Chains A and B, each alone.
Chain A
Amino acid sequence: MRAFIGFTTVFFLWASSLTAQTCCSAGTPVLSAMTGAAPSAGLFRLSVDYDLNRVTRVFNRDQAIDAIRQRTTQALLLRLSYGFTRRWGVEALLTYIRHQRQLNQPNSSGSLEPLLAAGVGDAIVMLNHNLIVPDIVSPWQWSMGLGLKAPLGTPDLTSGGILLPADMQPGSGSWDGLGWTRVGFSLRPHWPLTVLLQIAARHNGTYNRFKVAGNSAFKHYAFGDVISLTTGGAYRADALTIRLHARYRYALRDRFADQPVANTGGQWLFLLAGLTLDTMAPFSYHFTFTWPVWQKLNEIQLTTTWRLLVGIGWHFYREANS
């Protein structure tokens, strides 16, 4: 426990000194970070992850075009989960978000005009349920979760007194609903491979971005709802698990004053490759690289070039800890 606290402290201090990027709630991997089965009864899990999202490409629908600027997102994700029973569990996610944008080339003054914004991000609480728990007899697993994203993060940071745009804010300002379901099938004992199919969705609430008073349509800004479909497999060789997934993501347009916003929303196809190492129980280490292989965006948008997630997890049984 002390070692974990020590590591977490060092991790946060190191991460807070970073001068690169941040991620807004719209770019924080909230759905993918949360979608896990309910842990075993009495099992408590902690995970501290670092997510790096490089947003350097500009697309006009499905064609890459020249980019003048870039944005980078860094997030610290603290995940906690606990299994009440073998079927029910709860999961929480706390975030710290850091954004940076800058020009790709210096301007006439020789400056890249960097802007950094950081702060505590939104939080998530999820109730997870294992409809089918894998055991010796059944290779199937079916889990689902429902939850809420709470707007703990600041959605109205300013620079020099001027409101920063939504993609530079640590928080979204809105309450959102989340849900997911996952079906897995294990090929053990013949082959240490598990395949899965997962659907996740997020419905975004509205937020009064510009602090408009009175009864005005300008009070309502909402990020576009998102649905994602993930499939793939995990292969376990002793303490090493290798994961390869494909994810399709569809985001609706943002809405402002009840109107769809141009240059938002679209479709993406990602490849995710990851490793998990369990050699130092109760600690585990995980790494995921995400690569967008296809995108079709609405009009013109800055979009992810690649994404990296690294983290350390720790688990223990509540009975042993007390």
Chain B
Amino acid sequence: MIRFIVFLAAIGLVACDLVQDAGPVPEGAWLIPKSEVRDGGPGKDGIPALTLPAFTSTDAARSYLKDEDLVVMARVGALIRFYPHRILDWHEIVNDQMDETFLTVSYCPLTGSAVGLLRILPIDGQAIATTFGVSGLLYNSNLILYDRATDSYWSQMRNQCVSGKLIGQKPVNIPLVELPFATARALYPRARVLSNQTGVYGSSRYNTYPYGDYRTNNDFLLFDVKHDDNRLPRKERVLGVTVNGASKAYRFSTFTLGTQIARDSVGGTPIIIIGDFRRRFMVALERHRGIVPVEGLQVYDDPAHPEAVMKDTDGRLYDLFGQVIFGPDTGSALNPLESYIAFWFAWAAFHPETDLY
């Protein structure tokens, strides 16, 4: 019997821990602490990104979207597309193309953040079109993407490649605007909407939110957060802006008297924030078109130009993307900023020194 027990102990010693990973994370440097990166559970591509999916009209989309459903809007030239949260919740990444622009719309359900990026990357001196996938890894509960050209890993909210061949690269961002479907449809009735016929899941899948009460329960997190800032409720959606290393967050509650424009400065750069608490949108833009300062921006509301939300003293009308849609210099735009809406806890985790407007 003693021999048997010793035999078992020997087996225990040789039965040591083992991990085999067909696609291990990149060796070498990481710009974020690996000890704080989490495996979310599904694994690489366990959440399937969409590539060149189908779109439908805003009228047809009413069959599967409610007026209050949030959508992410992207604009390329005259093309406008909506990417509904209820589809993004299940795929997190859409690799799309509008005219000659190859873009990726990324959305992280756990941090409530949508970031658009150009999916043409400078690789070895060449501009290479690629697609992004969901790595299955998280940092501060936030999505880490990977590009399929080099298998480099990109932190969505850090807005940077954090590991791999392209480490340190910042993507070229495609500005996105988040707002309810009803508001978006009123502004851009001829926009195209990401279809729920994705070919990956049955369309009924998108009627279910996959994370229980996560969106509304301020106390419910799935992963630890290094810097837990309690100035605001964790799941309050804020607009975060980063300029020249400085960061500031803006609250919807600032814009309770209809559509309003706030003038501020971040990192020494004059900016405006146009927001509306009832219509649930907030957008931050520089007060410059190129190098030209823009003064006297006011809220604009005219059924003749439904997509116009601002005008300046020279009669230019601007849409939510800051693009001049009527008047002098039509087609030019207010300079975009590195800004996106996210849950407060995530914004504060990535920007511990953030100011609060």
Contact = CB atoms under 8 A, between A and B. Distances in A.
Contact of B46 (A12, A69, A216): A69
Given A12-B11, A68-B48, A261-B222, A161 B34 contact: yes
Interface stretch (B114-122, B210-218, B238-246, B332-340): B210-218
Contact of A119 (B7, B17, B200, B212): B17
Contact of B225 (A164, A218, A261, A300): A218
B19 A113 contact: no
A165 B39 contact: yes
A263 B43 CA distance: 17
A259 interface: yes
Interface stretch (B21-29, B75-83, B100-108, B310-318): B21-29
Interface string B222-233: 111100100000
A170 B43 contact: no
Contact of B224 (A101, A113, A162, A218): A218
Interface in A167-213: 167-168, 170, 210-212
B44 interface: yes
A259 B39 contact: no
B35 to A, nearest CB: 7
B39 A164 contact: yes
B190 interface: no
B25 A161 contact: yes
Given A108-B131, A119-B16, A300 B148 contact: no
B175 interface: no
B17 A107 contact: no
Contacts of B208: 60, 300
Contact of B43 (A4, A8, A69, A120): A69
A107 B1 CA distance: 51
Interface in B251-299: none
Interface in A106-128: 107-109, 111-120
A321 interface: yes
B353 interface: no
A163 interface: yes
Interface in A141-170: 154, 157-165, 167-168, 170
Question: Looking at chain B, what size class is its interface with the partner chain?
Answer: 35 or more
A80 to B, nearest CB: 9
Interface string A280-297: 000000000000000000
Contacts of B148: 108-109
Contacts of A107: 44-45, 133
Given A108-B133, A108-B148, A210-B224, A157 B212 contact: no
B62 to A, nearest CB: 24
A319 interface: no
A298 B212 CA distance: 9
Contact of B4 (A5, A216, A299): A5
B39 A163 contact: yes
B46 A158 contact: no
A137 interface: no
Contacts of B34: 160-162
B203 to A, nearest CB: 11
B102 to A, nearest CB: 15
Nearest to B24: A160
Contacts of B18: 116-119
Contacts of B219: 257-259
Interface in A63-113: 65-66, 68-69, 78, 94, 96, 101-103, 107-109, 111-113
A107 B45 CA distance: 7
A159 B25 contact: yes
A111 B12 contact: no
A257 B40 CA distance: 17
A1 interface: yes
Contacts of A46: 4
Nearest to B201: A66
B41 interface: yes
Contact of A165 (B12, B41, B45): B41
B46 A263 contact: no
Nearest to A60: B208
A321 B211 CA distance: 57
A115 B212 contact: no
B23 A299 contact: no
Contacts of B35: 161, 163, 211
Contacts of B222: 256, 261
B304 interface: no
Nearest to A61: B208
A185 B40 CA distance: 48
A66 B1 CA distance: 50
Interface string B112-150: 000000000000000000010100010000000000100
Nearest to B20: A116
Contact of B137 (A69, A162, A168, A257): A162
B312 to A, nearest CB: 46
A136 B59 CA distance: 79
- Most B C-beta atoms less than 10 A away, residue of A78, A114, A257: A257
Contacts of B20: 114-117
Nearest to B144: A162
A283 B4 CA distance: 16
A262 B23 contact: no
29 contacts: A5-B3, A9-B11, A12-B11, A66-B200, A66-B201, A68-B200, A96-B15, A101-B46, A108-B51, A108-B131, A113-B23, A113-B45, A115-B20, A116-B21, A117-B19, A120-B15, A157-B19, A159-B25, A159-B39, A160-B24, A161-B35, A163-B37, A170-B17, A211-B35, A218-B224, A256-B222, A259-B220, A262-B212, A263-B211
9 tightest A-B CB contacts, nearest first: A262-B212, A119-B17, A160-B25, A218-B224, A116-B20, A107-B45, A161-B34, A210-B224, A165-B41
Given A69-B46, A103-B45, 18 more contacts: A8-B11, A44-B1, A60-B208, A68-B200, A69-B42, A96-B15, A107-B133, A116-B18, A116-B20, A118-B17, A120-B16, A161-B35, A162-B25, A162-B34, A165-B38, A165-B40, A165-B41, A210-B223
